[in-house]
């Protein structure tokens, strides 16, 4: 049996920098959440087709793990991948809430790709794997590089490790699922024209703890938070004083108090 942990992430800040061909460019600080993760396992099993357990509510063709599997096959043409998954199934043990701004689906797919690279001895570099991952989803490169903290920009394909002290987070996820496409659609309609690139100049050079202290406003830190509140008005009714909004939502986070 082969296993890997697929960690959640939070966005310390997330600023939209542009829009091109229905995709958004951004700059963001991604930080791995050490104590919240799904587990991806490859379990011995005679399988007629690629088989995933633990994601029953997601059609196979829509599953990011399956998309990652197809991308790896198409890119490498390595028969070892096909043969391996005739003899193994994928089991996902979920702990990261879905549609919660924590990157669960992307982390699962990226961790799957990293584990396949290892068990099938693929002749592909981490950079090449990250480039391939970006064709599956814009958050995958961060999870493939597996940095504890990184500045992410462009369409998510530019990932630069950021050295800072390890951080521990408290996570609050209300019973609200935020569809990323809907949040971005709302952002385009109401907020895209108000982008100001100078408003966050230098944020990528500040450590996360300092930035959260200097800019304690979750709306200023995350461009998608106002859009999410328009798309999902129940977010605005929550008591989130002292909490910050991650990604396209619906999760909130704050730093654990240092002892």
> How far is 30 from 257, CA to CA, in rounded Å?
20
In a 3-state reduction of DSSP, which class is residue 239?
A: coil
> How far is 113 from 6, CA to CA, in rounded Å?
11
> How far is 110 from 129, CA to CA, in rounded Å?
9
Q: Are 187 and 16 in contact (CB under 8 A)?
A: yes
Residue 250, preceding peptide bond in cis (omega within 30° of 0): yes
In a 3-state reduction of DSSP, which class is residue 84?
A: helix
Q: Which helix (H) or strand (E) holds 194?
A: none
> How far is 2 from 41, CA to CA, in rounded Å?
5
Phi/psi at 206 (nearest 5 deg)? Answer: -90, 140
Active-site residues, by number, are: 9, 139
Size of the chain in residues: 259
> How far is 143 from 102, CA to CA, in rounded Å?
12
Supply 84's token pair. Answer: 């391996």
- The stretches of the chain forming alpha helices (DSSP H) are 64-76, 79-86, 104-119, 126-133, 140-145, 180-190, 208-214, 218-221, 224-231
> How far is 188 from 78, CA to CA, in rounded Å?
41
């Amino acid at each position: 049996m082969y296993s890997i942990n697929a960690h959640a992430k939070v966005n310390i800040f997330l600023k939209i920098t542009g829009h091109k061909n229905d995709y958004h460019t951004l700059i963001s600080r991604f930080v791995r959440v050490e104590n919240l993760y799904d587990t991806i396992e490859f379990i011995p099993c005679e399988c007629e087709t690629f088989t995933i357990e633990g994601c029953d509510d997601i059609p196979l063709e829509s599953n990011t793990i399956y998309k990652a599997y197809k991308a790896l096959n198409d890119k490498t043409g390595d028969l070892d991948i096909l043969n391996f998954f005739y003899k193994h199934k994928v089991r996902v043990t979920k702990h990261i809430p879905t549609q919660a701004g924590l990157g669960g689906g992307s982390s699962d797919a990226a961790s799957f790709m990293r584990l396949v690279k290892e068990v099938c001895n693929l002749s592909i570099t981490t950079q090449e794997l990250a480039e391939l991952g970006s064709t599956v989803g814009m958050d995958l490169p961060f999870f493939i590089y597996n940095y504890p903290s990184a500045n992410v920009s462009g369409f998510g394909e530019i990932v630069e490790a950021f050295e800072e002290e390890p951080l521990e987070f408290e996570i609050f996820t209300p019973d609200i699922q935020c569809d990323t496409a809907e949040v971005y659609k709302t952002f385009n309609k109401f907020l895209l024209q108000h982008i100001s690139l100078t408003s966050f100049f230098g944020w990528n050079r500040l450590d996360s703890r300092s930035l959260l202290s200097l800019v304690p406003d979750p709306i200023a830190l995350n461009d998608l938070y106002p859009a999410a509140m328009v798309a999902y008005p129940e977010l605005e009714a929550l008591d989130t004083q002292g909490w910050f909004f991650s990604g396209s939502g619906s999760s909130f986070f704050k730093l654990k108090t240092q002892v």
